[in-house]
Amino acid sequence: MLTVPIRQLGEPERAAVQRILDADPYAGAQIAERVASHGLNWWRSDGRIYGYEPARRIESLIWSGAHLVPVGATPPAVAAFADLLGGEPRICSSIIGRSEAVLDLWDRLSGHWGPARDVRPNQPLLVTDRDPEVRPDPAVRLVRPNEVDQLFPAAVAMYTEEVGVSPLQDDGGRGYRRRIAELVKGKRAYARFDGDQVIFKAELAIITRRTAQVQGVWVHPDHRGRGLATAAMAAVVADSLRRVAPTVSLYVNDYNVAARQVYARCGFVSAGSFATVLF
């Protein structure tokens, strides 16, 4: 028995969903992109959106699909979402969002879905809306469609290093390669090449009318510690602001001091904290 009103949302609730997403455009970016592309009819997308609706007003959302993403989730909403989801098998590969909501949600779900492979409780969420003061690296550019084969090994290396498992293990990497090819085709993938080798890469994994969210930032191990990343990220930020969205956002592991210093030099400022639970 659910203790509070919670229901799956559809197109009639579009305005309410947009209101909540607009209130937190960085934490809600992943959902906002899907809603803009597919609407709220669950059969047209790869997940469902549930709303917490006390007093006949939708106050909080959660996206349930390959990732579980709460947005605007108050403690009562988290309790309600946990009541709903705890009775179902886990389908998500991660829980991502504002740290308070994610950690509370996981505390309630861990007895049903545990154990997690990794819990990252504090990932600074960073945002910038201005060109970096650092001079952008002119060698960083959009990856061309005929360069996917060169980009893919770097993407696999980044994913394995960041997530802790290889994207090749389930289907030999076919699905992940399709995703990389889609990012390249959409002019969302940046790289600096040294011959045929990628020595820096980053992608705009999520794009909404409010922000472009950078993921997959990676420097080849042989080129780390040389200051390459700061100018390279400055190039990504400058092009994204000029061409894509009014802000650039990202989240980073709190222990990655070097990356946080790079982002600070590029003008990023704090917009709170994320947490991620990985399965």
Cβ atoms < 10 Å from Cβ of 242: 9
pLDDT attached to residue 170: 81
- How much of the chain exceeds pLDDT 90, in percent? 88
In this structure, what token pair is assigned to residue 28? 């809600």
pLDDT attached to residue 4: 61
| Tens of pLDDT, residues 153-166 | 999 999 999 988 99
pLDDT attached to residue 1: 47
Q: Is residue 115 reached through a cis peptide bond, with omega within 30 degrees of 0 on the bond before it?
A: yes
In this structure, what token pair is assigned to residue 195? 């011959």
Query: CA–CA separation, 36 vs 202, rounded Å?
Result: 23
| CA-closest candidate to residue 109, choices 127, 83, 91 | 83
| Tens of pLDDT, residues 50-104 | 999 988 899 999 999 999 999 999 999 999 999 999 989 999 999 999 999 999 9
Query: CA–CA separation, 178 vs 23, rounded Å?
Result: 32
In this structure, what token pair is assigned to residue 124? 């600074």
| Tens of pLDDT, residues 220-229 | 999 998 989 9
- Is residue 44 scored above 70 in pLDDT? no
Structural contact between residues 101 and 63, judged by C-beta atoms closer than 8 angstroms: no
- Is residue 2 scored above 70 in pLDDT? no
- Is residue 3 scored above 70 in pLDDT? no
123-146 mean pLDDT? 97
Distance from the Cα of residue 163 to its chain's centroid:
13
Handedness of CA 12, 16, 19, 21 (dihedral sign): negative
